[in-house]
Structure 1
Amino acid sequence: MRPLPTTKDEWRSHLTVARRAVPPEVRTAEADALASAALPLVAPGQTVCAYVPVGAEPGSRQLLDSLRALDVHVLLPVVVGRKPLDWAEYDGNLVRGPHNLLEPTGRRLGAEAVGAASLILVPALAVDATGVRLGRGAGHYDRSLVYADQGTQLVAVVRDQEFLPELPADPHDIRMTAALTPGRGKIDLGNP
């Protein structure tokens, strides 16, 4: 039996390999379950920051469209180099951006737009019981979430097996307040 990873880079490698092995039909079922679990977390008129899944990331465009159908303002990230993320409202249309990522076509709102959100759905490779989130390592969300209002729900979206007891943490890591998984729904996290 292989020992568990200990560093962030080892965890990233381990989790990325595991994600790629998830069959498409399982990804689709998980995406449906995540959409069902996310909708009760919002109300009409609220602003939610979300994301367009890349590769094997959990989530779906269906979730984004379902949020819009509830009259929720959905903001999606726009990568602008090593700076905090920019945000634009999702109107149902996406285009390929300079980083080959799907981006909203709406007007750019700036990094501070995340402060309008009452819920932020954050992509993650894993999250632990204390709210430590493991991302892809570029730091976009750690640089961006400092603009969120205090009390905003910061929800890491992961597969059930990516909710872990403990992950390595750095002082600059922004802690999540909850995890959202296909099997367990929203899990409130104990921030130290």
Structure 2
Amino acid sequence: MPTADPSNPPDGTETDTLRAAKAALRTRIRAARAVPESASASSARTASALELCAGHRVIALYASAGDEPDTWPLIDALYAEGRTVLLPLLGRRPDGSVRRDPDWARYAGRDRLRLGYASIPEPVGPGLGTEGLAAATLVWCAGLAATVSGDRLGTGGGWYDRALPFAAPEALIAVLLRDSEVLPTLPVEPFDQPIGAIVTETRVLRAARE
């Protein structure tokens, strides 16, 4: 998977323009997500995501929160099938220091979760470190929009842009979105990490880099 070089950003004017465009798009998408989708739409997305997971034994996911497409049915189904599910560790380390580098831990059931950063559930551990992601052959990453050419609009924190360079080169990177969030173009910065598949409530798209 190609990675962008964050040490070579656009010039200041272009950066400001791109970031303003991203912020405006995030606001618009989150306003649309304030309208809940139907249970049937969510179930259809989960079913398609499960099909995409076929043949993958180690899968990285995220614990959905707020307006994000619900990942919990997918997490629980994969775990029940005996797959290894990796979830992000967010917030603070056990010693109290702030965790900056992305970290992962194996999901071991809902009774083995704690509240992490922003009250997002995370496994009790132990952490596998940034390199733990390399074991996954399929990585579901958070996003607000994507294009069929593989560009992704993240949620704004940069967590996955820091995490994805540690994925295995052959790993499939995918996002769960609403149909309306598949867009023709997106503002992209050099450090934005590309994706390889999009799953919505009506379709599964394989991204093709130009």
TM-score, normalised to structure 2, is 0.81
Distance (whole Å) between structure 1 residues aligned to residue 202 and residue 125 of structure 2: 33
Output one character per residue of 1:142-168: Cα deviation in whole Å (capped at 9) or x when no partner: 000000011210001111111111111
Specify whether residues 70 and 43 from structure 1 end up closer, same or farther in structure 2 by C-alpha distance, changes over 3 A only: farther
Pairing partner for 2:201 from 175, 182, 189: 182
* 8 A contact 2:84–2:106 mirrored in 1: yes
Pairing partner for 1:119 from 138, 153, 164: 138
Pairing partner for 2:101 from 84, 91, 99: 84
Show the counterpart of 1:15: 29
Distance (whole Å) between structure 1 residues aligned to residue 178 and residue 162 of structure 2: 24
Specify whether residues 82 and 92 from structure 1 end up closer, same or farther in structure 2 by C-alpha distance, changes over 3 A only: closer
Show the counterpart of 1:47: 58
Show the counterpart of 1:61: 72
Q: Residue 142 of structure 1 aligns to which amino acid in structure 2?
A: D
* 8 A contact 2:56–2:137 mirrored in 1: no
Show the counterpart of 1:170: 189
Q: Offset at 1:97?
A: 1.4
Show the counterpart of 1:191: 209
* 8 A contact 2:138–2:173 mirrored in 1: yes
**The residue matched to 1:7 in structure 2 has which SS?**
helix
Q: Offset at 1:82?
A: 7.0
Distance (whole Å) between structure 2 residues aligned to residue 97 and residue 134 of structure 1: 23
Show the counterpart of 2:40: 29
Gaps in structure 2 of 5+ consecutive residues: 1-19, 92-97
Q: Offset at 1:56?
A: 1.2
Pairing partner for 1:155 from 174, 180, 198: 174
Deviates more, 1:120-129 or 1:97-106: 97-106
- Structure 1 residue runs of 4+, over 3 Å off? none
Specify whether residues 10 and 160 from structure 1 end up closer, same or farther in structure 2 by C-alpha distance, changes over 3 A only: same
Q: Residue 49 of structure 1 aligns to which amino acid in structure 2?
A: A
**The residue matched to 2:118 in structure 1 has which SS?**
coil
Query: How many residue pairs align between the two structures?
Result: 183
* 8 A contact 1:96–1:102 mirrored in 2: yes
Distance (whole Å) between structure 2 residues aligned to residue 164 and residue 45 of structure 1: 28
Q: Residue 15 of structure 1 aligns to which amino acid in structure 2?
A: I
Distance (whole Å) between structure 1 residues aligned to residue 74 and residue 41 of structure 2: 11
Q: Offset at 1:85?
A: 1.8
Which protein is bigger by CA-based radius of gyration? 2
TM-score, normalised to structure 1, is 0.89
Percent of matched pairs sharing the same residue:
34
Q: In proportion to residue count, which structure has more strand? A: 1
